[in-house]
Structure 1
Amino acid sequence: MPAFRQVGEKQLPNPVLCMAWSPKRDLIALANTTGELLLHRLASFQRVWSLPPSEYTGKEITALAWRPDGKMLAFSLGDTKQVVLCGVEKAEILHVFPMQSFVTCMHWMEVTEESSALNSFYNSEDESKHFLPKLPTLPKSYSTTSKIFCEEKSDEILNLLGDIRLNILVLGGEDGFVELYAYGMYKIATLGGVSGTCRSLCLSSDLKSLSVITEVRSVDNNPEICYVQLDTGLLSDCLPEVTRMARKFTHISTLLQYLHLSLTCMCEAWEDILMQMDLRLTKFVQEKNTSTQVQDEFLELLLWGQSSPELQALLMNQLTVKGLKKLGQSIESSYSSIQKLVISHLQSGAEALLYHLSEVKGMSLWKQKFEALGLDSEAIEGAITAVGSFSLKANELLQVIDKSMKNFKAFFRWLYVAMLRMCEEHVPPELNKMTQKDIAFVADFLSEHFSENEELFDRKGKYFNVERVGQYLKDEDEDLVSPPNTKGNQWLMFLQDSTHLKDSPLLFPSYPKKSLHFVKRMMENVIEHCLQKPAEVIGKSVKQATFLPLYTVPDSSENTPRLFELPSLWNDKKAKMHYVVFCMPEISPCKLYLLRKGTDPNRHIPNSVMSIDLSHHPENTDDDNEEEAQSHYVYNCLDARFYDDEMLTVVLQGSEEQSSRRVLAQLPLASSLGCDTEFTWDPSQRLDQQSSTIPCQGLVLGNQWRELENMKAQFVAVNGIRKVACVLSANLRHIRVFEMDVEDEDDEGADSQNASADQDGLETTTNSQGQGEESLEADDEAGEQGGEQKTGEQLESEEALELS
């Protein structure tokens, strides 16, 4: 009976570029060549959901990583240079941020170190809930690109942050690009000094070092694989402070996104119909023959009840009684929606921003703790001032809306009655009463708003600016067309006369001639500058501790998928070691190499390199000759992944005449890494030039292996916690899924029950979309002519055609 139980097999319609098991559930994420992200469950390899590529994000997925709690996926896009955070429950895009470089690899780790300072922080984390009201959810009727703030019962910030414990998303790319993002959102370090293109990286769980595998061009222009260890001691030494700072800054980043989406909703509430009055008055001026001013014609109608033939034609033919009534209702509805959004969303979001920024300022003043991380109290003070200016501008918009609603109500009421009289229709008694005060109010509105403005003619052919709210919502750098009239404002007069208060830093600047969009952009820029400073300071503190050239890349491998290619990195949390597994195909194709390096660069731990001879000999000589002869194999390693701290999962290929043979095996690391022979490398030479002196161990398979019949297996993805493996063929379309530890039936049954409970929780949230995916799965299988029902020979012949 072969080891490992096969639980699923499938031919996929599109080649797979990335695959990664969830750290918490029996779920595997796949990214294919079309830019589609797929989530499959272990049982029969059924699809849970798919996230198709979109024009908003991109179509070329280059790397994939799970958040340690298994509730979120991060993937990078090469065509748009963005990183996307996707919720696992509903396949929703929760956050998108741009990158300066092409991302080639990513790693999402969780900090496991504990301290009393961290525990006290965990206990006090939710203090803001006692002082700040919960942010209102955004209206679902608007087409906001992110849905994280539209859920009725979800806490949007915790949805993104997850557990309080610090987790860090590490991104690597071309030209030595490496960045660290706390909670996958806030950039805490931009690293320099790394050469070449990052192929793989791993941040130690104690934050003491970052191991990177890079590909650089050597002197003779050949691709060279190198191992680099970076000393990230500052992050480790200041872990409680980094956690607190990252938590606060991630709150701030999320609030900025909330304000941006709130303003987007406001712009959608302000419809083009509000511009109709301006456009029709402009058309009226261009077509009329008289030399009188428009406001004079309206004032004549107000005072004498008579109008010129041109004005009457405008009112009766273009506006009409019915159209005027509809326009008035539309303006009132739009103003009311904008007013609610300003009060409930902009103001509450700005208050929360001020709260968190004030706490960050307090942290920055504690120089003993936070000065080393780059917190600058002056920059944070500037950010607080910018948020204050934004709040002032939001209040100014509220006053303009309030005044405009009163003006338009009075104006439309009067004009409606005037048009009814022109039509000689009955005027309702409740509308027919106008006091002298009402007439003066309308006259003031006409004289202020209906004057022709030749300066506006350059702005899309407009003469008029009757509607005053829209100018605040336009994303333009130009000044407001009609700034608020501050004449007679006693507070402003008092400020102008006071030499000390006029330029006081205690007062927020108001920018009376700028739009709300302009002030918001200015606030975002100031806060972004404030948030970037620690990333620069922490990045400069990171130094290179080790640089070891491993081997040159053979020319024949240039066309192979680099996302799966060795080396592979592993972080042993218990032993506090970094392990690297790799092959040197040109030097010794039948050997697998293991490099061991301590995670703490300042601690003297013996570093070693070991090799495993992939020649398998029978362990039991009492077997018959046929079995003994069959077990004499020499293998090449196609792929190797760390199953856990003590086991390595490998895909082996028979050498020479046995090249069609593929084996999935588990290699115990204890026997190889626990040997007495230590090898210390010479940094002046590549490791492949020292390969003859590297200690070697024999291959020990035992019963932990299985032949992969009728499959040109090439790559493998594993998860030792969930005890699963997924094998991918060389054509990237044929997949087999295995449960690895099948001998522990009782434990396995308990695990599968827990997994099924997880699955049930996940399936209940997929709703109609998830059900649609099941039918889509059936369509896929039908299109593949049976998929799992194909015989091994059919699968083999299809792969041969693909490879040819």
Structure 2
Amino acid sequence: ESRFPSEQSSFRQVGEKQLPNPVLCMAWSPKRDLIALANTTGELLLHRLASFQRVWSLPPSECTGKEITALAWRPDGKILAFSLGDTKQVVLCGVEKAEILHVFPMQHPVTCMHWMEVTEENSALSSFYNSEDESKLFLPKLPTLPKSEEKSDEIMNLLGEVRLNVLVLGGDAGFVELYAYGMYKIATLTGVSGTCRSLSLSSDLKSLSVITEVRSADNNPEICYIQLDTGLLSDCLSEVTRMARKFTHISTLLQYLHLSLTCMCEAWEDILMQMDLRLTKFVQEKNTNTQVQDEFLELLLWGQSSPELQALLMNQLTVKGLKKLGQSIESSYSSIQKLVISHLQSGSEALLYHLSEVKGMCLWKQKFEPLGLDSAAIEGAITAVGSFSLKANELLQVIDKSMKNFKAFFRWLYVAMLRMCEEHVPPELNKMTQKDIAFVADFLSEHFSENEELFDRKGKYFNVERVGQYLKDEDEDLVSPPNTKGNQWLKFLQESTHLKESPLLFPSFPQKSLHFVKRMMESVIEQCLQKPAVSFVCCLPSSFPRVTGVCVNVICFLRYRWNDKKAKMHYVLFCMPEVSPSKLYLLRKGTDPNRPNYIYSCLDARFYDDEMLTVVLQGSEEENRRRVLAQLPLASALSCETEFNWQTHLRLDQQSGAIPCQELVLGNQWRELESMKAQFVAVNGIRKVACVLSANLRHIRVFEMDVEDEDDEGADSQNASADQDGLDASMTSQGPGEESVEAEDEGGEQKGAVFQKTEEHLESEEALELS
């Protein structure tokens, strides 16, 4: 009969808060005293341990989504990943400023995620870590984006540390994908059935364990445990790390170029369109049939203007307005010019450098061919980046030419308007040579001609300002493409049959805008990034028994730890309330597919550290089902020598009585959770904290777990009573050929769990009985 001691130990409560919205996911940071919460409104919250104080909140947005389904921290604690079910996206968020740094789409909604760091070391990988920054020897440091851009300080945080880390995503229809550094897809899985409930990749990359929920014909859930051999990634760890790092650099540079172009668009001002709009209005209101450029040429050559032109200049444009327009154009063009030179060109050079290195990798077929690098796709990406660089250079030429033209034009027009006002003209402005007159005449002839087609599309006849068309995010061709007449190089290329279609020359797309070429480049590189992903087909080992007909509740899943012989092991914790409501089952399986694995359950349970399990327990009806937070020591259970001989032809519930048990004493390591229907728990053993969430997902309490007894009132009397009336537990031994374990993964990372109450089925090799 299950019962609890009458007294409790001293877990010191350090915070309590009523939340306005139910919480769906929560996860502690692996490095700092921070916990991330996601609620039903799609809001992401970050709280600090002290008084459970809110650090920031990230509200849902139209460009992302409102249904957060899973959370995961990057191992360094600087990036938080969360998945959105309604828009099928995964978002990487900067922790410092709550900024969305990267978003990528998924084929299926993500139901669980796990972000781990590779701990396996070899000499080749160590040399790569040491030489990873060799690109700095050849490439200039990318300048920081203007401070007006929100993400300027955070964009490079996407790269993070050099050591490889992998974000594993699972979803519906057995969908599982692996992303190096949380950005670059290195593997996809096929053959997994059901919806992924939980997953874990071993830190040595040798195996991936997945728990899925499969619905039977009568819609009853069945829980399946699957272990996949990912030995290819482990065997090619050095190559995978090099390739992933390069592609992460490439993805980051694409983001950098996108933000640079955004800054350029912000630098371009709408005031630059005033000349075009006023000239259009002038044409529509004037009574004469003369062309606008003819009227300006008459003013240039003879110093005479029609009443309509004089009214346009003096009443609408004004001397003061002309001066302001000239200053705006010069300032705007200078800002855009600097961004193109310092950001676009530098980013394009770095992109070409890294893509060229990836091309070199794919030519080393012995090393990189098994990983699926596509040389044709990489070549296409290099060509696309080259075209983008050419278009950026073309924009520079247009800016340079426009600045010279406008400077000469505004200087002449300013003097002409002063004369119309009969005001004094400064001597330094009054000198205009024949060459200057010819220059302005050419400018008027080229830019001041009416275009009826342009009026239909843009609402104006003129396109005096030529830079803005390059920055418009539209699929239409340039209104006024650059005049290439007389260009000797282009003439030479057109007349050369051998060079005309040469793959050594980048196509220039003279009719397209900079935005169009950038989108084309992003599309080609995105295809290039998808190509190398390895595909794994899952196979259940024939020796691993399958559980059917048993209701299983999975509580927490797949912590990997070292055993005595330094072999990595996976663990899963679960319970079977219909078979043994007072037992916790712990399943262990080696990360090497030739070894075995583990599992756990009750109301909720989490590994606290190497030797302790944190559990939320519920009392019997006689005890009014009161909730208790307890620490369960695992040392004696994991060292149990009695072995259970699994009969593979029988179901687990048919032989559960034969599973041997081990007596455990909790002593004073528990505390009643008064006035709270506790249901879930998240822990961080490194920080010695636990966060308990109520069944209605609104009530949270935070505890410091390792507190001296004298800190709380009445601790001595509690301990004395607890020694007599302790909470006992029992646990079965390990299966044949399996070994005990000692340590868990570094950082005590707890994966965010999506809290659902479902019936599940699973296999077990060891059990722990609460008595």
Shared fold (TM-score, shorter chain, > 0.5): yes
Contact kept in structure 2, 1:650 and 1:665, CA below 8 Å: yes
Contact kept in structure 2, 1:202 and 1:570, CA below 8 Å: no
Q: After superposition, what is the alpha-carbon deviation per residue over 1:340-389, rounded to whole angstroms, capped at 9, x for unaligned?
A: 11011100100111111111111111111111111122221221111111
Q: Structure 1 pair 568/546, CA: closer, same or farther in 2 (3 Å)?
A: farther
Greater shift, 789-798 or 214-223, is seen at 789-798
Q: Structure 1 pair 123/350, CA: closer, same or farther in 2 (3 Å)?
A: same
Q: After superposition, what is the alpha-carbon deviation per residue over 1:673-721, rounded to whole angstroms, capped at 9, x for unaligned?
A: 4444555767888755664555544554334333333332211111223
CA distance in 1, matches of 2:412, 2:46: 62
Contact kept in structure 1, 2:142 and 2:346, CA below 8 Å: yes
Q: After superposition, what is the alpha-carbon deviation per residue over 1:527-552, rounded to whole angstroms, capped at 9, x for unaligned?
A: 111111012xxxxxxxxx9999xxxx
Contact kept in structure 2, 1:48 and 1:770, CA below 8 Å: no
SS of alignment partner, residue 35 of structure 1:
coil
- Gaps of at least 5 residues in structure 2 are 1-9, 544-554, 751-755
TM-score (norm 1): 0.80
Q: Structure 1 pair 762/277, CA: closer, same or farther in 2 (3 Å)?
A: farther
Q: Structure 1 pair 406/801, CA: closer, same or farther in 2 (3 Å)?
A: farther
CA distance in 1, matches of 2:438, 2:472: 32
Q: Structure 1 pair 211/770, CA: closer, same or farther in 2 (3 Å)?
A: closer
CA distance in 2, matches of 1:769, 1:135: 55
Q: Structure 1 pair 370/332, CA: closer, same or farther in 2 (3 Å)?
A: same
CA distance in 1, matches of 2:735, 2:266: 31
Greater shift, 8-17 or 180-189, is seen at 8-17
Q: Structure 1 pair 491/798, CA: closer, same or farther in 2 (3 Å)?
A: closer
For residue 92 of structure 1, report the CA deviation from its aligned partner.
Answer: 3.4
Greater shift, 273-282 or 695-704, is seen at 695-704
Contact kept in structure 2, 1:567 and 1:582, CA below 8 Å: no
Determine if the alignment matches structure 1 residue 671 to structure 2 residue 678: no
Determine if the alignment matches structure 1 residue 307 to structure 2 residue 296: no
Contact kept in structure 2, 1:107 and 1:202, CA below 8 Å: yes
For residue 32 of structure 1, report the CA deviation from its aligned partner.
Answer: 2.7
SS of alignment partner, residue 706 of structure 2:
coil
Contact kept in structure 1, 2:340 and 2:396, CA below 8 Å: yes
Q: After superposition, what is the alpha-carbon deviation per residue over 1:147-193, rounded to whole angstroms, capped at 9, x for unaligned?
A: xxxx9999866522222111111112222222211111222223222
Greater shift, 40-49 or 191-200, is seen at 40-49
Q: After superposition, what is the alpha-carbon deviation per residue over 1:574-604, rounded to whole angstroms, capped at 9, x for unaligned?
A: 541111111223333222211111111145x
Q: Structure 1 pair 25/746, CA: closer, same or farther in 2 (3 Å)?
A: farther
Instruction: Give me the CA root mean square deviation.
Output: 10.9
Greater shift, 231-240 or 792-801, is seen at 792-801
Q: After superposition, what is the alpha-carbon deviation per residue over 1:448-485, rounded to whole angstroms, capped at 9, x for unaligned?
A: 11111222232133221111111111111121111111
SS of alignment partner, residue 565 of structure 1:
strand
Q: Structure 1 pair 633/652, CA: closer, same or farther in 2 (3 Å)?
A: farther
Q: After superposition, what is the alpha-carbon deviation per residue over 1:5-50, rounded to whole angstroms, capped at 9, x for unaligned?
A: 3333333333322222222233322223333333333344333444
CA distance in 2, matches of 1:297, 1:152: 47
For residue 781 of structure 1, report the CA deviation from its aligned partner.
Answer: 35
SS of alignment partner, residue 726 of structure 2:
helix
Q: 1:598 aligns with which of 590, 597, 606?
A: 590
Greater shift, 17-26 or 592-601, is seen at 17-26
For residue 727 of structure 1, report the CA deviation from its aligned partner.
Answer: 1.8
SS of alignment partner, residue 726 of structure 1:
strand
Contact kept in structure 1, 2:91 and 2:100, CA below 8 Å: yes
Q: Structure 1 pair 512/719, CA: closer, same or farther in 2 (3 Å)?
A: same
Contact kept in structure 1, 2:690 and 2:705, CA below 8 Å: yes
Q: After superposition, what is the alpha-carbon deviation per residue over 1:253-289, rounded to whole angstroms, capped at 9, x for unaligned?
A: 0000000011111111112211121122222222222
Q: Structure 1 pair 134/572, CA: closer, same or farther in 2 (3 Å)?
A: farther
Q: Structure 1 pair 506/31, CA: closer, same or farther in 2 (3 Å)?
A: same
Contact kept in structure 2, 1:68 and 1:167, CA below 8 Å: yes
Instruction: Report the equivalent of 1:626.
Output: none
Q: Which has the higher contact order (CA 8 A, sep 6+)?
A: 2
Q: Structure 1 pair 446/711, CA: closer, same or farther in 2 (3 Å)?
A: same
For residue 524 of structure 1, report the CA deviation from its aligned partner.
Answer: 0.8
| Identical columns (%) | 90
Greater shift, 226-235 or 695-704, is seen at 695-704
Q: Structure 1 pair 766/123, CA: closer, same or farther in 2 (3 Å)?
A: farther
Greater shift, 468-477 or 743-752, is seen at 743-752
TM-score (norm 2): 0.83
For residue 778 of structure 1, report the CA deviation from its aligned partner.
Answer: 40
Q: After superposition, what is the alpha-carbon deviation per residue over 1:122-156, rounded to whole angstroms, capped at 9, x for unaligned?
A: 111111112211111111xxxxxxxxxxx999986
For residue 522 of structure 1, report the CA deviation from its aligned partner.
Answer: 1.1
Q: Structure 1 pair 752/281, CA: closer, same or farther in 2 (3 Å)?
A: farther
Determine if the alignment matches structure 1 residue 643 to structure 2 residue 650: no
Determine if the alignment matches structure 1 residue 727 to structure 2 residue 692: yes
- Gaps of at least 5 residues in structure 1 are 140-150, 536-544, 557-562, 604-631
Q: 1:248 aligns with which of 238, 246, 249?
A: 246
Contact kept in structure 1, 2:88 and 2:110, CA below 8 Å: yes
Greater shift, 690-699 or 34-43, is seen at 690-699
Greater shift, 120-129 or 59-68, is seen at 59-68
CA distance in 1, matches of 2:437, 2:243: 59
For residue 568 of structure 1, report the CA deviation from its aligned partner.
Answer: 12
For residue 113 of structure 1, report the CA deviation from its aligned partner.
Answer: 0.6
Instruction: Report the equivalent of 1:498.
Output: 496
Determine if the alignment matches structure 1 residue 572 to structure 2 residue 570: no
Greater shift, 4-13 or 471-480, is seen at 4-13
Map 1:97-176 → 2, pairs under 5 A? 97-139=104-146, 159-176=157-174
Q: Structure 1 pair 191/124, CA: closer, same or farther in 2 (3 Å)?
A: same
For residue 777 of structure 1, report the CA deviation from its aligned partner.
Answer: 40
Contact kept in structure 1, 2:559 and 2:571, CA below 8 Å: no
Contact kept in structure 1, 2:556 and 2:600, CA below 8 Å: no
Q: After superposition, what is the alpha-carbon deviation per residue over 1:600-655, rounded to whole angstroms, capped at 9, x for unaligned?
A: 1145xxxxxxxxxxxxxxxxxxxxxxxxxxxx999992111122343322111112
Q: After superposition, what is the alpha-carbon deviation per residue over 1:299-350, rounded to whole angstroms, capped at 9, x for unaligned?
A: 1111111122222222222222222221121111111111111011100100
Contact kept in structure 2, 1:230 and 1:546, CA below 8 Å: no
SS of alignment partner, residue 178 of structure 2:
strand
CA distance in 1, matches of 2:295, 2:29: 73
Greater shift, 29-38 or 98-107, is seen at 29-38
Q: Structure 1 pair 220/713, CA: closer, same or farther in 2 (3 Å)?
A: same
Contact kept in structure 1, 2:641 and 2:733, CA below 8 Å: no
